[in-house]
Structure 1
Amino acid sequence: MQQDGLFGLPEPAPAPAAGAGSDTGARPGGRGRLRTTSGFELAESLPVASVQLIGVLPHLDRPFEYAVPASLADAGPGMRVKVRFSGREHDGIVLARTDAPTTDRPLAPLLRLVSDDQVISPAMLRVCRDVADRCGGTVGDVLRLALPPRHARAEKADRAAAEAEAEAATVESEAEASADSKAGAEAGEAGAGEAAAEAAAPALLEHYAGLTALLARAGSPEGPVPRAAIVLEPAHSWNEVCAEAIAALPAGCGALVIAPDLRDVQRLSRVLDAHGIAHEVLSSADGPEKRYRAFRRILRGASRVVIGNRSAAFAPVQDLALAICIDPADDLLVEPRAPYPHLRTILQCRSAEERCALLLLSHSLGVEVDALAQSGYLHLLPPQAAPLAAVRPRIVAMDEYLREREGPSGRSRIPREAMRVIRQGIARGPVLVQVPRSGYVPAVACTFCGTRCICPQCSAPLSLHGRSGVLQCTVCGRREDAYRCPECSRSQVRALVIGSTRTAEELRRAFPAAPFRVAGGAQGGVEDDDIPDGAIVVATPGAEPAPDGGYAAALLLDADAMLARAAFDADVEAVRRWSNAIALVRPAEAGGEVLIVGTSTLPAIRDLVAHRSRAFLDRVQEDRRALDLPPASRVAEIAGDRTAVRDFLDRVELPDGAQVFGPIELDPAEGRERARSVVRLPLARGRELADALRAGVSLRSAHKAAGSLRVRLDPPDVF
């Protein structure tokens, strides 16, 4: 079976058949002799296959040539095969079939054709290469992320389902052809329905200037690829925007929507069902069989609308016209496996290779997305002017006036004003109380000197797990009944952070008649439909359930503690989490109210009160540029054994001007020689840094250097 050069390689001329251990002589154009190992018969045409191996060592990340036996003559580009490499079986992808090799060495045969499905297209392979180049990784590692393991039973069941669908489509077409009048009447009804749908224009799409134009150009083969970001109004759900955007696409166009976690995917799936949009859910939580069946349905074009979490980023959607990323600043969208790409990077590569429109949706503008907009890569689509009471709740911060008016209670953790918000809120519906941490009292410190209490055995933080007041280690479980501060030898401690369990206990005493729900941490999640009217929901950021109709009020506690998190992006991340919680509250015209308990003069808190102000974000961008922090620079983290990190830095040839920080030792209490180093380079030379690190990792792999090492580009927790 003759195959063309699907992956950009020139199509060779057919070659005569060759037997076992044959030598067909030199080929035109300086190609090598076709020599093979013995014991098999070659395919009659194009007997050489170029194969990209999956999961091999970094210095072997390149195509290898194999002979094609006659029994595997159907193996074509994009198909998955088994080959022998270095004495072991490996998975590989056939890149091309040629008539002659580029080497004089004997070629080993392909061992087995895993499946006759073309599991990866030429465009998707280019996406994988682009992702590997951007992240300083290998194509084999990216292919391992892109292709789910084959499941034979799922493949067999899907083939049967495809045949049944084809037969049903044939019967349906014959029935329509034999009933022209009925088909005409149905067409008239359908036309009337389309006219009615067109008359009822989607309000959310028209609320954001330029969104309708972006969707009209989605999938167009000509002109620039449309890319945009939208900061949604709190009253607008990103699920509804996604549903209306997908419904507005031309017929036959594919769409891909990525949400941070499975709960968001399930919410989006329910909204799409309500809009009558057929879709496929591709999630890492599914078992191997279910996931592979979904992958095959997408691969053969049975499902053109795909939603999922980060595992769906490489979904082979046919005729992909629109890719949507929900809340792109969420750290759940960072792949924890090598080469650690961010989902935003994957979608950017797909947008470039497949010419699909890119849309980023969020409730707060992230620093990275704002940098892309300032560079001209995408456009920020502003909303149309609307009354604030119709698009957002009433947002108030505990300023000095409110605190002084209350007196001493105004300085407490839950002031009287917060109690008023809860009391009035539960009379209208559920109330959300957001706290930064789960548990009871997850962090304590010495009352006298402020030294944080740590376990003398494993150096992990000590915490209070109940009202008994007993300190217990969060790692090894050691109880400290007679704790003494190692600095001042005093035994009295105070709480640094109050957790969700303790907060719920305090509020339950104040509102004994109200039903309570605690979400996040050890308590797990709470279903959206398990929130009765008048309930008080205490949740950690990201674990908030979303009841129908929204919350009547929200209380954001310990805002200063969230801003004091030990990270360079603590303020931006706090605004993102607060904004997502505010989006769950009803608009002000429906009685929605939000109270932020913190220092009201802090820029991050003032940004929540001010509507669509750029003062906070502009200040953050200016500080990042002044301090040369991402996204103003490209940063890499090298972590692992101390000797391995030092050896890597000695071997790698970094670009001129690269700044190297460290290496420094990490976790000395664990007894292992762990170290970490950070390399920084200006953003314009980021590709040079990725190339240098990839070359260094390949060199280390080729020399079989000892010790463990991990190299990540632009990790979210680097500073």
Structure 2
Amino acid sequence: MSSEDTTPGGPPEQLALIRETVRRAKPRTWHGAHLAEELPVARVVVDKGLLHLDQFFDYAVPVAMADTARPGVRVRVRFGARVGAGGRREGGELHDGFVVARLASSDYAGPLAPLAQVLSPEPVLTPALLKLSRTVADRYAGTLADVLQLAVPPRHAKAEAEPSPDPLPPPAAPAPGSWQRYPDGPGYLAALTAGHPARAVWSALPAPDWPRAIALAVVSALAGERGPLVVLPDGRAVARVDEALTALLGGGERHAVLTADLGPKERYRAWLRVSRGSVRAVIGTRATVFAPVHELGLLVVWSDGDSSHSDPRAPHPHVREVALLRAAEEGAAVLLGGLAMTVEGAQLLRTGWARPLAADRAVVREVAPRIRTVGDGDQARDAAAHAARLPSVAWQAAREALGTGPVLVQVPRRGYVPRLACERCRTPARCAHCAGPLEAAGAGQVLACGWCAVAESDWHCVECGSFRLRAQVVGARRTAEELGKAFPQVPVRTSGRDAVLGTVSGEPALVISTPGAEPVAEGGYAAALLLDGWALLNRPDLRAGEETLRLWLAAAALVRPAGEGGLVVVVAEPTARPVQALVRWDPAGHAALELDERAELGFPPVSRMASVTGGPGAVADLLGLSRLPEGGQHGGPVTLPAVRGQEQERMLLRVRPAQGGALAAAVEAARIARVALRGAEPVKVRIDPLDIG
């Protein structure tokens, strides 16, 4: 935190005063417990998740719990109890919590309530994890309890009762392998083995071997007797890295996998192996960034622009930012890798915080597929594009490629026909009940609302009275149906939200996929068709171009190199910046240009932002209580769709990067102050929101 964040009388000091007042005033306590002779006070973080109770509370340690109520263990405590006549306790609900310290005395003047129960003697909350969780909570204007729910998995008693194996000796340092294609790759691996906190932003080559490259980095860190931690956006990516690591290390005993798909017991068992030091390497999805790896030496985040890395639960931390905070605190190396590059990655390079890891242009051209574009002008002159789903260029590319292997077709929208409009006047077809968009679920099926699901069997245009409809947007299922008719002898497979394919064979087939669900083809795809680029590029979002390029690069990287006939056809305006970056395969250049534009406009990451969403009165109330740092700016309000009939609006607060901590503290202090106003409308606050469009 900068000196600007700690100005006397500023938001951080005000927030600390509020917390201390709450901590001293809230606990209701009672006498009567036989206390431990040594360190009879336990300081506890209570799992309440309320901002005005975001503080430690002191409890008495009964003599029966003197040996088990150690720092880091889970306990149950009564919260909100009253002391009645004769010192008897009345009321108070049981809540879970963690012991964070044992003390000889408390600064609370009254009698202390005793701990109700020690749930487990397993110390799951380490001092390092506690400090990281507190830092993350402060950065995102959240509560420590909310962050701990993300960081520490639910307990499973049977898993705790099982012994964990002894750690294995470190492996030998691996050969550089595919890292030799990057000029600084072998040096980076050597730095990991030597235990240096090397920081890099890695522009991965368009090849299917990135999981093995990550595995080599993990083994290099293990060889230096340091613990590596890898966070990936989804279970399919985790499975690929797991397979590569298993192949390199000769089994799964040296690393743990943490994903929700494992189930509560297996996930907690794997987490315990990490916490107890049985394994030093861990890979997994979002919450893995908090895993208590011993002697942490490397943090890898793959595809940090993927929205899966931003937690949907409060306080909405982003994996990349948590990893950077943790690396700085624990002196670990960092590897932000991906086929694309985010503006945040570009800023880390521009400030010198990290070094680039990229291959020479000649190597990129050798492994990348050939890119062809089909713009609006091309389609206007293409008679076939009006009568069929595919422009002639794309249709011809698919026909030729199907002679040698599978063809990937990326469609931005799922469903059949998710958007309809009047054929005569182009007025969008809306539901008569809620004004939601009408959708066609299949050929010949009755229209239904995409919001309330009410069927509409007698639609007519409210503007011109026409009864005829046209498709504004065609979904993946409709595309699969049309391409199946165009290529009747070719198998058609679909991959999307309802059923995501992991892999497909190298036999000729059409694979229709929504963005992010593309399966890996054995031997690579012969061609890829990226349809309806306008649907991705024209979204009213600050990150639309960056996200579109990321999705395109991920699909194009599955295609064979140009030397082996690999071809990608992108249906989008050729002059658009993301299209040009795809043609040149230059994600770093695109990110640098995006960063320049953000700097001119004052948007993140060259500034820090908070979004405040709620009813107009509630938003104005919170902003009136907020003491923003000097130079802080308001943006808005922007009217949003009503929620349960209540009007909603959003305001954006913007400050300089060094004032990010002060912004979070100011907003948090204002939210705590509003708690005193009974019946106050809730307000949703999000620090550094991904979507500010």
TM-score normalised by L of structure 2: 0.88
Corresponding residue SS for 1:632:
coil
Q: Are 2:460 and 1:484 aligned?
A: yes
Q: Distance in 2 between matches of 1:625 and 1:419?
A: 41
Equivalent runs, 1:112-191 vs 2, <5 Å: 112-156=117-161, 158-159=162-163, 162=164, 165=165
- CA shift digits 1:643-697 (9 cap, x unpaired): 4323222222222332223444432384234332222223232222111111112
Q: Distance in 1 between matches of 2:603 and 2:676?
A: 33
The one of 263, 286, 289 equivalent to 2:236 is: 263
Q: What residue number does 2:691 align with?
A: 717
The one of 81, 84, 90 equivalent to 2:78 is: 84
The one of 387, 390, 396 equivalent to 1:420 is: 396
The one of 424, 429, 450 equivalent to 2:405 is: 429
Corresponding residue SS for 1:316:
coil
Q: Distance in 1 between matches of 2:676 and 2:268?
A: 35
Q: What residue number does 1:409 align with?
A: 384
Q: Are 2:38 and 1:38 aligned?
A: no
Q: Are 2:451 and 1:475 aligned?
A: yes
Corresponding residue SS for 1:555:
strand
Deviates more, 1:587-596 or 1:273-282: 273-282
Which is bigger in relative contact order (C-alpha 8 A, separation at least 6)? Answer: 2
The one of 645, 651, 666 equivalent to 1:671 is: 645
Q: Distance in 1 between matches of 2:577 and 2:466?
A: 37
Q: Distance in 2 between matches of 1:76 and 1:357?
A: 32
Q: What residue number does 2:586 align with?
A: 612
Q: Distance in 1 between matches of 2:584 and 2:155?
A: 52
- CA shift digits 1:142-163 (9 cap, x unpaired): 112111121112212x23xx3x
Kindly state the Cα deviation for residue 608 of structure 1 after the two structures are TM-superposed.
Answer: 0.6
Contact 1:204 1:236 in 2 (8 A): no
Q: Identity, % of aligned pairs?
A: 41
The one of 211, 225, 232 equivalent to 1:252 is: 225
- CA shift digits 1:347-397 (9 cap, x unpaired): 112111221111111101111211222122222222145445532111111
What amino acid is the match of 2:132? V
Q: What residue number does 1:69 align with?
A: 62
Residue segments in structure 2 that go unaligned for 5+ positions in a row: 1-23, 81-91
Contact 1:325 1:359 in 2 (8 A): yes
Q: Distance in 1 between matches of 2:263 and 2:657?
A: 40
The one of 278, 293, 300 equivalent to 1:324 is: 300
Q: What residue number does 2:11 align with?
A: none
Kindly state the Cα deviation for residue 277 of structure 1 after the two structures are TM-superposed.
Answer: 5.4
Contact 2:341 2:588 in 1 (8 A): no
Residue segments in structure 1 that go unaligned for 5+ positions in a row: 1-30, 174-189
Q: Are 2:205 and 1:229 aligned?
A: no
* Cα distance change of structure 1 residues 536 and 471 upon mapping to structure 2, 3 Å threshold: same
The one of 164, 176, 180 equivalent to 1:206 is: 180
Q: Distance in 2 between matches of 1:218 and 1:90?
A: 43
Q: What residue number does 2:105 align with?
A: 100
What amino acid is the match of 1:496? Q
The one of 482, 499, 514 equivalent to 1:540 is: 514
Which one has the largest radius of gyration? 1
Equivalent runs, 1:254-653 vs 2, <5 Å: 254-275=227-248, 276=250, 278=252, 279-384=255-360, 386-398=362-374, 407-409=382-384, 413-468=389-444, 470-522=446-498, 524-528=499-503, 530-531=504-505, 533-612=507-586, 616-653=590-627
Q: Distance in 1 between matches of 2:642 and 2:660?
A: 32
- CA shift digits 1:390-436 (9 cap, x unpaired): 321111112699769x8533677512221221112121111100111
Q: Distance in 1 between matches of 2:679 and 2:631?
A: 27
- CA shift digits 1:511-536 (9 cap, x unpaired): 111111011144x21231x4451011
Contact 1:235 1:583 in 2 (8 A): yes
Q: What value does the CA root-mean-square deviation take over the aligned residues? A: 2.7
Kindly state the Cα deviation for residue 619 of structure 1 after the two structures are TM-superposed.
Answer: 3.3
Q: Distance in 1 between matches of 2:596 and 2:427?
A: 34
Kindly state the Cα deviation for residue 447 of structure 1 after the two structures are TM-superposed.
Answer: 3.3
What amino acid is the match of 1:457? H
Q: Distance in 2 between matches of 1:312 and 1:495?
A: 42
Corresponding residue SS for 1:680:
strand
Kindly state the Cα deviation for residue 631 of structure 1 after the two structures are TM-superposed.
Answer: 1.8
TM-score normalised by L of structure 1: 0.85
Q: Distance in 1 between matches of 2:637 and 2:366?
A: 53
Corresponding residue SS for 1:298:
helix
Q: Distance in 1 between matches of 2:287 and 2:591?
A: 31
Contact 1:37 1:106 in 2 (8 A): yes
Q: Distance in 1 between matches of 2:478 and 2:472?
A: 13
Corresponding residue SS for 2:521:
coil
Corresponding residue SS for 1:265:
helix
Contact 1:518 1:539 in 2 (8 A): yes
Deviates more, 1:204-213 or 1:508-517: 204-213
Q: Distance in 1 between matches of 2:604 and 2:465?
A: 42
Kindly state the Cα deviation for residue 331 of structure 1 after the two structures are TM-superposed.
Answer: 0.5
Corresponding residue SS for 1:313:
helix
Kindly state the Cα deviation for residue 615 of structure 1 after the two structures are TM-superposed.
Answer: 5.1
What amino acid is the match of 1:563? L
Contact 1:219 1:322 in 2 (8 A): no
Contact 1:57 1:701 in 2 (8 A): no
Q: Distance in 2 between matches of 1:94 and 1:633?
A: 37
Q: Distance in 2 between matches of 1:613 and 1:302?
A: 39
* Cα distance change of structure 1 residues 339 and 510 upon mapping to structure 2, 3 Å threshold: same
What amino acid is the match of 2:100? L
Kindly state the Cα deviation for residue 271 of structure 1 after the two structures are TM-superposed.
Answer: 2.1
Residues matched between the structures, number: 650
Kindly state the Cα deviation for residue 322 of structure 1 after the two structures are TM-superposed.
Answer: 1.0
* Cα distance change of structure 1 residues 645 and 38 upon mapping to structure 2, 3 Å threshold: same
Kindly state the Cα deviation for residue 621 of structure 1 after the two structures are TM-superposed.
Answer: 2.2
